[in-house]
A and B are shown apart, each in its own frame.
Chain A
Amino acid sequence: MPLVGTRPTADFASGPLIRPGEEAPWTLSRVQILQVMYELEQGAMTSLLPPALHPTIPPTLVVTAWRVPESPAGPFVLAEAKVGCRSGARPRALSVRAFCDSEQARAALADRWGYPLEAAEIGFARRYDRCWVTVEAGGRVVLDAHLVDPEAISGNDIQYLATLNTARVEREGSVVPRLIQVDPEYQFHSADRGAPELLAFDGEAFGLPGAEPYWPVSASYAVADVAMPELRYLVDPAKPPLMAVERLPRTGS
């Protein structure tokens, strides 16, 4: 059967504690989304993932940045570097640590969707010849990712992977690590594709020690309305893939 992750589950024990409330759903209008994908050196194929996940073959790094002009927590920019994987048979991307430039947004995203966020200065820019995101944390640049020479495509040609955020939940009086599935819905206004360029990437900063992106795959930029999801699935990082997924009861309707 397919390979599984070998990373110690202790590495997934320090995410934010989810505090789901009764807040209204979030629909984020005209979010600018930059995504850059690279293949990773295969030495880290299994060492970046917990036993609950299969690696993709080849292993992939998915850099995603959102510039959100308006949200219930105010405007913010979010930058993630995720590892492509499979939860059982489902395509997913694991986020161990990410960055956001707004304290209010960090708290809201962590509480509701388990985003494992830290503070950073994040630059997000779009020019006619390129689009890029830079993340500066702890006084150094930990990410500098670009899309070069954009050409228009249909938003329907872009497929975003659902994210698994490293977080914690309460279970029977204890706090336990869980990977939180976040699979927003996207309504595209425009989309571009271009050449990917990763000028700086610090795996340690994103909780991905040993991740070495070396082979460019693709880059896309889109403007979309993003409907943030109700949580439906959690993954226990310690369990084998076919036993790890936990379905949450639907709330609301």
Chain B
Amino acid sequence: MPRPWGPTTEYEVYQNCLEQVKLADELGFDQVWAVEHHFLEEYSHCSAPEVFLTACAMVTKNIRIGRGIVVCVPEFNSPVKAAEVAATMDIVSGGRLEFGTGRSATWTELGGMGADPDETKKTWDEWVRVIPQMWTQERFGYQGRAFSMPQRAVLPKPLQKPHPPMWVAVTSPGTELDAADRGMGSLGLTFGGFAEQEKKIAEYRRRIKYCDPVGSFVNEQVNTVNFLFCHEDNEYGAKTGQRLAGTFNYLAEQLLAARQAYPTRSYPNLGLLPALRREATSAPEGQIPEGLCIGNPDRIVEVIKKWESVGVDRINFLLNAIETVPQEEVLASLRLFAKEVMPKFAEKPAKTAAAVGGA
């Protein structure tokens, strides 16, 4: 959300996002995801993604609706409310919900909500086990560590049976293994290069074979995240895409990470998020970073095939950052991608259909 914030800036950006989602649905994109962030000035003004995604569902027919992610921390949400809202979204979208989970990673958010950074992994682990039970049991009661409730009917129940697919946002190192061990999809939020991602995905695939699923089924899927700017002119496409990536990364680096403010083992030392962003978005002068989906259609096809070869099922594309790219160019990029790139992957739609991320 670019400064200066006029009285209609947020309205305009939300409208742009809705327009992008509507077009993405018409073009055959597979999923749209919207984040839950709080207090992150400019970086994200999307604190109520369930509302935005419901609006998306109302203007689309086929695209799946990714709640990415429910912050599973009691100071942010309640597990009952999260289950209820998700079920309602699933109903009103006609069974199109993808349910993402996570725990927040910034002091700006955790401190703002009064959450204890030491507790977030524990509460997330508890919530992802109880929420699918709320969806599938007629009445649910629970005595737990961070959350307890007497027996009640948690209503409504999701339209998808037994329940929507469950995902984990993967930012901290090792969270992809948490996803595997719980039979959940890996919703990658880092922009790691091919080699790094290939190792992680291989280990995810190995571990999930022996998982103890928290839900009623195993959701073995790997989404990763990338930038998209597709243009007939490779040089212009790459230049614009790099400007988009650079702007997004610059904003991301401004965030006050949890561990920069609060010493805790709960948020590992590596600072992997910015490190991987740098790895993926830096390249020698005049070259395009290897893993980014920017440039002309031929280049993007090549990049996606490489991602496919390392085991990625789907790519979530970031389309814009503080409206760096004019809306008409974003829409044109989507259209060109759908026309020239998506057909190259049409034989295996479940594995390769590209997704679009709401800004």
Contacts and interface: CB of A to CB of B under 8 A. Distances in A.
B39 to A, nearest CB: 7
Nearest to A39: B111
Interface in B173-214: none
Interface residues on A, range: 20 to 34
Given A57-B254, A58-B256, A158 B263 contact: yes
A2 B254 CA distance: 8
B172 interface: no
Interface stretch (A70-78, A82-90, A129-137, A244-252): A82-90
Contacts of B108: 57-58
Interface string B234-268: 00000000000001011101111001111111000
A172 interface: no
B24 to A, nearest CB: 27
B254 A157 contact: no
A35 to B, nearest CB: 9
Contacts of B264: 153, 157, 193
Contact of A159 (B2, B111, B254, B260): B260
Nearest to B112: A58
A191 B269 CA distance: 15
Contacts of A90: 253
B138 interface: no
A1 B322 CA distance: 8
B256 A57 contact: yes
Most buried by A among B42, B107, B259, B271: B107
Given A89-B249, A217-B107, A60 B261 contact: yes
Contacts of A193: 263-264
A238 B213 CA distance: 56
A218 interface: yes
Contact of A157 (B41, B42, B255, B259): B259
B263 A86 contact: no
Nearest to B277: A89
A79 interface: no
B269 A218 contact: no
A178 interface: no
Interface of A: 1-3, 37, 39, 54, 56-58, 60, 84, 86, 88-91, 153-154, 156-159, 161, 191, 193, 215, 217-218, 220
Interface of B: 2-3, 39-42, 107-108, 111-112, 247, 249-251, 253-256, 259-265, 269, 271, 274, 322
